[in-house]
Each structure stands twice: as C-alpha cells, then as structure tokens.
Amino acid sequence: SHPVIAIDGPSGVGKGTLAQYLCCKTGFNLLDSGAIYRALAFGALKSNISAENLPGLVNLAENLPVKFVDTSIIYEGEDVTSKVRNEEVAAAASIVAAIPEVRAALLKRQKGFAMAPGLVADGRDMGTVVFPQAPVKIFLTASAEVRAERRVNQLKSQGVSANIVQITSDIMARDERDRTRTTSPLVPASDSVIIDTSELSINQVCDKAIDLLWK
Ligand code: C5P
C-alpha cells in the first residue's frame, strides 16, 4: 500500500494550503475530501434531493458524477470549482456529511486516491477513518476568530466583500456539526501531531510539517 499523509482539522485552518505544499514537495497525489462532500451537496441541491431523502442521497453518493482534473472540480462535465466554494454549499455539505450511510457510500472512492507514489489527504476523518494506517497524521487547529479572519482576507483578495460576524458564525455552526455528529466526528487521531496555527505563518506551518516527515 502507498504512504498517506493525513491532514485533518476544522474549516479555514489552512489544511488546503498545507496539503498543496506537501504535494509539491513530495510529488504525492492530493485528495481534497471536502470537495467530494461539497460536490455531493451541490448535486443534491441541483437535483432537488433533500437531506431527508436518504435513498436518493446514498444513490447520488455511490454514483457521484464528479471528476478532479488538475485543480478543477468537474460535475457532470461542468466546471463547478468556484460554485462549490460558497458558504451555501459548505453548509449543505456539512449536513449531508453527518449522515452515516452517506459517509459509508463515499469511503471506497476516497480510499481509491491512495495511488503511487503516495497521497496527501485533506479532510476531517482522514487519520481516524479513511486512512487509519497513515504513517504521518497532522491535525491543524486555530481559534474560530483567527480562521474567520483568514477567510475574510482570502475573500477580499478575490475582490469579494465579507462580513466577519457572519463568517465567524457560519464557521462555528459548521464546526459544531462536524464535531458533534455520531459518525466520524471531527477529532484528532490518537497518533496525530497537533499543530496550533493561530500564531503561525503559512511558512512556519509548512516547515513544521516537513520536519514531521523526516522524524
Ligand atoms: O473541507 P471543506 O470545508 O471543503 O469541507 C466541507 C464540509 O464537508 C465540512 O464542513 C464537513 O462537514 C464535510 N467533510 C467531512 N469529512 C471530510 C471532509 C469534509 O465531513 N473528510
């Protein structure tokens, strides 16, 4: 089996940035598991499948028409990369992600990303559920305030205005759902290394992670 670097943590903590950096350094493949949950939520909204329609959601999860091409997310042939990034889809993703049958239906697909030479897997349960055998597990944390501030700056740099109060409350609601669900709740794996990024720059986080690879 191929080596996996598992990166877990709450929304807006910098997992995606770290995952991309480690992919560049190692030449490993990337799994953005959140994008799979977002694609599922997007598809459910598009096809009017409600969160109560369990068979409909499971069927969609098992046959999800999503493809990852370079850095783009393609849903039924349409590039939905920016569409799935909005907070409406994120909130819907965290609702469908709380359904055990949905998570089970997406498990095999996620495991399939572990190909040569290795994988950097970004999500909430990479080290606990999907790749429990991963030799390197990193769990990133930061206060909700710091994460909301980073998100606002990211949006501003994209020319999008953002309300810090709204974003903080969205992030906290999503974290609460992710932490308190019964299946695969957001918790650090017992063998993970926890990095609090609140007071660290992106470069400092990346350096710490690189150190871990050589331990
Ligand atoms: O990481 P991202 O913000 O794109 O994830 C969107 C949502 O998908 C999360 O809030 C979470 O509810 C869900 N998710 C999950 N398990 C993962 C990745 C994402 O439950 N491994």
**In this prediction, does ipTM exceed 0.90?**
yes
Exposure pattern of 12-21 as b/e (b: 16+ CB <10 Å)?
bbbbebbbbb
Q: How confident is the model at residue 18 (pLDDT cuts 50, 70, 90)?
A: very high
The token pair at 99 is: 């359904």
Instruction: Give the distance, in angstroms, between the CA of residue 127 and the centroid of all CA atoms in the same chain.
Output: 12
**CA 37 to centroid of ligand 1, rounded, Å:** 6
pLDDT tens-digit series, residues 155-209: 888 888 888 999 999 899 989 999 999 999 999 999 999 999 999 999 999 999 9
**DSSP-derived 3-state class of residue 71:** coil
Nearest CA to ligand 1 atom 1: 34
Q: Is the pLDDT of residue 215 over 80?
A: no
pLDDT at 33: 97
The helix (H) or strand (E) run that includes residue 125 is none
**Which atom in ligand 1 lies closest to the alpha carbon of residue 94?**
12
Domains of the chain: 4-213 (3.40.50.300)
**Which atom in ligand 1 lies closest to the alpha carbon of residue 11?**
3
DSSP code string of 77-105: TEE-TTGGGSHHHHHHHHHHTT-HHHHHH
d(C-alpha 63, C-alpha 84), whole Å: 18
- Which residues, 6 or more positions from 213, have their beta carbon under 8 angstroms from its beta carbon? 5, 22, 26, 136
Residue owning tokens 């350094």: 25
**Which atom in ligand 1 lies closest to the alpha carbon of residue 8?**
21
pLDDT at 136: 97
**Ligand 1 pocket at CB < 6 A:** 11, 33-34, 37-38, 90, 93-94, 97, 123-125, 174, 178
**CA 34 to centroid of ligand 1, rounded, Å:** 4
**CA 210 to centroid of ligand 1, rounded, Å:** 24
pLDDT at 71: 87
The helix (H) or strand (E) run that includes residue 4 is strand 4-8
**CA 178 to centroid of ligand 1, rounded, Å:** 8
Residue type present at position 83: K
Strands 136-141 and 4-8: parallel
